[in-house]
Amino acid sequence: MDDSSVHEDGSAIRILGSRPSRVPDFERENRALAELADAMAESPATVLQRLVELVVETCQADSAGVSILETDVAGVEWFHWHAVAGCWAPRVGGRMSRFASPCGAVIDGNTSLLLRDPGRLYPEAAQFDPPVVELLLTPFHVDHQPVGTLWAVRHDADGQFDAEDLRLLISLSRFASAAHRAISAATELRASEAQFRALAQAMPHHVWMALPNGLLDWFNERIYDYTGATPGDLERHGWRHIMHPSDMVQAAERWQEAFLNGDTYEAEFRLRRRDGVYRWHLTRALPVRDELGAIIRWVGTNTDIEEQKTTSQVLARLNETLEQQVAERTADRNRLWQLSSDIMTLCRKDGTLLAVNPAWTRVLGWSMEESVGRNALAFVHPDHLERARQEMSLFEDGASISGVDSQLLHKDGGYRWITWGAVFSDGVISGVGRDFTADKARAEALHLAEEQLRQSQKMEAIGQLTGGIAHDFNNLLTVIIGSLDMLKRRLDAQRSDGIERFMDAASSSAQRAAALIHRLLAFARRQSLDTRPCNVNLLIEGLDDMLRRTLGERISLETALHHNLWHALSDANQLESALVNLAINARDAMPTGGHLSIDTANTVLDDSYTAGLEAVSSGEYVVISVSDTGSGMSAEVLAKAFDPFFTTKPLGQGTGLGLSMIYGYAKQSGGHVRIYSEVGRGTTVKLYLRRAPDEQLPLEVESPRAPYGLGETVLVVEDEASVRMLITEVLDVLGYRYLEAADAKAGLALLGREPQIDLLVTDVGLPDMNGRQLAEIAREGRPGLKVLFVTGYAESTSVRGGLLAEGMEMMTKPFALDALGSKIREMLEG
């Protein structure tokens, strides 16, 4: 032993130098080395223990052991006793601090050491039982760096080590190096394989492996989820039980060819999903070779090409030696990690990023240096942050998630949509994410384009509507103007014969024009409805003559009215208009004749029926069915039947508002419309109206003629002079005193000047100040003043919808003069 091997107190050289050394027993040494070599080939994990046992046998030691320098999570270095033999065998697994152990001096000095009574220098060593009398240590190396010590101990005070003991200890320590290298490689291999399998399980694709002879022996969970197979089925039968029979021969031939030639296997065939549906897959498999070129593994993937999903191939390389297998598996994992177009991440359960692949940078712009060490939640959009925290907190070992969408922050300040799959194992979350920002943007752009197209179509339809409305109104105005002109001519000529015919024609045309306006406003939901309990059967019976004249002689009419029909909540005038409109549609659908039936019934719509309908509540309804035997409608026409302005008639012969008006009227009434049609067999329209509450019955019947007044004073405020003239004329005829004003300002002046005003009749749409504002100001000076609003436009809808105070009523223009007189009398007496 030279000076480099001697402790600083010089004891080692004096002790060994003064002691006789026994003759080297090379034969025994060779037997020990051969035994360790065999153990190394069979099971490297057992070599260290057998090594220390041979040290006890060959080096005259009472105890022997292997201490390996390791660092704990706190950064403290310890010598861990991985193998112990002899008297101290029960201490295996123990440890000593680097600075409290003589092993530290051996590592620091990279030299062998002999100590007698080491407790003098290392007090902690003095506490062992049995005590240490002499301690012989030598370092062992991995890649030229000392990593641990092999030591031998004498507990007998009379025992001594000699130079031959040191020589044998150094010789045997070579196997400590080899065993440590093998054990480290095995540990690294297990960690690499666990990480590799975690990544493979997190991928949203099929991954599988086969032995060199082609026998399938491993499948990821995605394959089992897809096929519904139980573990073991696929290993025994391969693809045969889930492949489409028509694809088996070709797939087998290509596999055989690839297997024999050692080429890449690629085939397209159909695999059966767990629900029995076959889907096309692109299958690729690559042979993994060792350094000599022999195939040691097949690694393959299945890509669902029916939906054009791409997948990255997972390649795993196995080798006969542990170090080669670690290198190949690491290379395969790194290749997948580097080349995948999907984001791959590793992070702790608290979200701290441990690693990100290059796709992370390509998709999000953040480099690895800018990302690793940060918390993954720092990249999550605030709207998704709480959900992400909850999902991460619920992770348990073996748990996984898939199909989770979230937005991640891009370096440019924007966000990218990512759909995630992840699995949690050994304290690490392995995640795979795919960027679908472009797909989402295309979908939103398509939706916007569709909305713009719809708006364009509506604008085009408005133009088409103009011709139809103009045609109808011109016809009506021709009759009105012509009749009034003829009436004037007869009166100028002092002739009264036949004037009733012209008066009736003008009145009828005016009423038809009013009805058209009502239908237009009802369609737009801007016409207020006088909704009240309605006897539907009585209304249909009253329409019988009109409907038969409308249909003509070639179309028969049949009614089937429920004998105990509930009253419906409806505007009677609008319901009449709807039924006449349906009859006209039916007539036009039966140009050569046919049959029209009108049925009524009571029905109850439950939650299951109304669940898929917009703004339709469950409850009791009166249903009116109008059925014809006409030409019917195709599915394309039926889908547009309720669309505004849609018509199949030539320009000028239809406005496209018929069914749209009926639909708007039904919705305003709280009801619902359904239409059924079949080409060549006819059409049925069902109109559902809500049942009127019993407490609103019986219906009030208006007097056919307006009752006379008792001299009460009525203030009329109307900006249209002709309308004001008619109202005041009615008041005068019925015996009322009236005051008139053309605007709100003049009306307020009369209210302030006249001592007695019993009723205010005002238009809603006055200039400068509307009728409702006028009424409020009037009531400030005259609390309880009764007010009748008259209007021809939409303001009445909001007024009647909840803004009418007590003592206020409303009538919609145009109205019958008798109806006006009756309403005034009703309010004054109410």
User: What contacts 55, CB < 8 A, 6 or more positions away?
Assistant: 61, 64, 85, 150, 152, 168, 169, 172
The rounded percent of the chain whose pLDDT value lies above 70 is 78
Confidence (pTM):
0.33
What is the structure's pLDDT at 652? 41
What is the structure's pLDDT at 561? 92
What is the structure's pLDDT at 10? 34
- The model's pLDDT over 432-482, given as tens digits with 9 standing for 90+, comes to 888 888 888 888 887 777 666 656 555 554 555 555 566 566 656 666 776
What gap in Å lies between CA 793 and CA 19, rounded to an integer? 125
396 vs 142 pLDDT, higher one: 142
Residue 558 has pLDDT above 90, yes or no: yes
Q: Which two tokens stand for residue 2?
A: 């030279």
* CATH T-level topology, domain 713-829: Rossmann fold (3.40.50)
For 259-273, 477-491, 662-676, 680-694, which range has the lowest pLDDT when averaged over its residues? 477-491
Q: Among 357, 368, 363, 346, which Cα is nearest to 431's?
A: 346
Q: Scanning the structure block, which residue is given the tokens 């205010």?
A: 760
Q: Compute CA 201 distance to the chain's CA centroid, rounded to the nearest angstrom.
A: 23
What CATH class is the domain 340-435? alpha beta
- The number of beta carbons lying within 10 Å of the beta carbon of residue 275 is 6
What is the structure's pLDDT at 402? 78
Q: Which two tokens stand for residue 485?
A: 């002109």
- The model's pLDDT over 153-200, given as tens digits with 9 standing for 90+, comes to 988 877 788 888 888 888 887 877 777 777 766 666 566 566 666 666
Mean pLDDT of the chain: 78
Q: Which CATH architecture has domain 528-696?
A: 2-Layer Sandwich (3.30)
- Is residue 751 a contact partner of residue 776, using CB atoms and an 8 Å limit? no
What is the structure's pLDDT at 698? 54
What is the structure's pLDDT at 485? 64
What is the structure's pLDDT at 653? 45
What is the structure's pLDDT at 312? 36
* CATH T-level topology, domain 3-187: Beta-Lactamase (3.30.450)
DSSP assignment of 471-516, as one string?
HHHHHHHHHHHHHHHHHHHHHHTT--TTHHHHHHHHHHHHHHHHHH
Residue 275 has pLDDT above 50, yes or no: yes
What is the structure's pLDDT at 715? 94
What gap in Å lies between CA 216 and CA 264, rounded to an integer? 16
What is the structure's pLDDT at 300? 87
Burial zone of 608 (CB within 10 Å; 0-12 exposed, 13-18 middle, 19+ buried): exposed
797 vs 4 pLDDT, higher one: 797
- The model's pLDDT over 710-763, given as tens digits with 9 standing for 90+, comes to 889 999 999 888 788 888 888 888 889 999 999 999 999 999 999 999 999 999
* CATH T-level topology, domain 203-338: Beta-Lactamase (3.30.450)
DSSP assignment of 615-661, as one string?
T---EEEEEEEEEE-S----HHHHHTTTSTT--SSPTTS--S-HHHH
